[in-house]
Structure 1
Amino acid sequence: MKATIWHNPRCSKSREALALLEAAPGVDVTVREYLKNPPSREELAALYARAGMTPAQGLRRGEAIAKELGLATATDDAILDAMVAHPILIERPLVETDKGVRLGRPPEAIREIL
């Protein structure tokens, strides 16, 4: 099985999810450091749709830029635009397999798609 993790190596939850994936037998892991290789708006929208999440649910609300941009009450379209412009706003880790997409908070949540 192939799995892609949208990863930030500075995030402890992201590191935990990556370790879980690497320890899972038969899982071929691709690491996408989304801060270095940001997603397009279309990729991000598709990822959230597969996860059954709204962009608002995938927003890191505590980031200073989220507050600066007033994203707490923004539309999903505005949030997606902000995430593309400022990938730090993307909550992590997101893990994608053929079985779906899960936000790894807690990291154990990704077991559902392995």
Structure 2
Amino acid sequence: MTATRVCALSELEQDTARRVEVDGVAIAVVLDGNGEVHAIGDVCTHGDISLSDGFVEGETLECWAHGSAFSLRTGQPLNLPAYEPVPVFEVTIEGDDVLIDPSVTKVVN
């Protein structure tokens, strides 16, 4: 699979998540306060809730329903009730295009 254009960089609002779908994979795309674009799985691992409806703070995305926050860098939950991570995807920026390949997840140590 190859990277797919999901949106324009200029369409992203800082500290706001945007839901996209690539090949049936729901992804939350976030432009953080430092100008870095992140892509993580859009479904909270605690409940079947869209994370892109949640709240961005720093390098975290918090589920609006139960308050679990996930690291935008690692996908790891930072508090309960979630205890399983969400996938984190590689993001490529080409000009104003944001590209994501949902078959390529980041390996985070």
Per the normalisation by structure 2, the TM-score is 0.31
Per the normalisation by structure 1, the TM-score is 0.30
Largest Rg, 1 or 2 = 1
* Structure having the larger proportion of residues in strand: 2
* Structure having the larger proportion of residues in helix: 1
Higher relative contact order (CA 8 A, sep 6+): 1
